[in-house]
Chain A
Amino acid sequence: MTDPQPPDSLSRTLHAWRVTPARNPQFRAEVSARIAAAGAVDSWSGYLRGHAVTVTAALMLAVLLGAVGGRNQARSLAAADSARLASAYVESLDARAMKMP
């Protein structure tokens, strides 16, 4: 049993057929990115790259909160110390506050 011979017209069409796919200039980069993403799923650096915006915003917020908190805490302590010493200073010169030994 032999294969049937294709018709001449089909043979000619197949012979003349050329595949010319559209060139994708990002193909290599996309492949690399997908490979890297697949390999970096469990790494922290990969996590950071995947959540860059969120992580950056969280870090900036943390630094801001820390800075404001540190500044306020220092000023608050200084104000409290200053107020206490001011009261004690005045009392130290106030005969009404003194007691006989």
Chain B
Amino acid sequence: MKNFFITLGVAVAACALAFGVFFVLNDDPALRRAARENDAMAWLRVEFRLSDAQYAAIKKLHDDYGAVCGEHCAAIMEARERKAPAAEVERLEKVCVDAMTGHFKRVAALMPAEQGDRYLATVLPRVSGYAHTGAPNLRANP
């Protein structure tokens, strides 16, 4: 019986070792770091394998879009605060969605075609599936 338990222990150790090795082999430390630091731009860079030049161009695009987004944000907030008619708020939100969608398409155009398609497939459903869940808390601009 003792030998059985020794063998069982060795098998469990081998299982744990294989788990660890394959976990490390399939892990993406850069993605984990981005997640740990809640850094959406780092995620973008890692997830879509952006080169330095591509990342810089996209970062600039994001920075530029920040001003546009800020205007939309202010308009929507102002309309909500003064309890504007729902139609007006919806119109402002549609303007926001259209601008955001256009921005995402411009970002995708700066990526390699395959990554750009994957990027759009990742972000666009999240734009349409938006459900007023709260403010963003990441370090992405704006």
B-contacting residues of A (Cβ < 8 Å)? 42, 44, 47-48, 51, 55, 58-59, 61-71, 73-75, 77-78, 81-82, 84-100
B14 and A62 contact, CB distance less than 8 A: yes
Residues of A within 8 A of B44 (CB): 89
CB-contacts of B14-37 with A (<8 A): 14-28, 31-32, 34-35
Asked if B105 is at the interface of the complex by the 8 Å CB criterion, the answer is no
Contact of A95 among B31, B34, B47, B72 (CB under 8 A): B72
Chain B interface, >50% SS class: helix
Contact of B126 among A51, A66, A90 (CB under 8 A): A90
A93 and B103 contact, CB distance less than 8 A: yes
**Cα distance A69–B19 in the bound complex, in angstroms:** 6
Interface size on B, residues (CB 8 A): 62
Q: With A78-B27, A93-B69, A94-B96 in contact, do A85 and B15 touch (Cβ < 8 Å)? A: no
Asked if B134 is at the interface of the complex by the 8 Å CB criterion, the answer is yes
B126 and A93 contact, CB distance less than 8 A: no
CB distance from A91 to the nearest CB of B (A): 4
B140 and A70 contact, CB distance less than 8 A: no
Q: Which residue of B lies closest to A100 (CB)?
A: B77
Q: With A81-B32, A96-B132, A97-B133 in contact, do A62 and B12 touch (Cβ < 8 Å)? A: yes
Residues of A within 8 A of B138 (CB): 85, 88-89, 91-92
B40 and A95 contact, CB distance less than 8 A: no
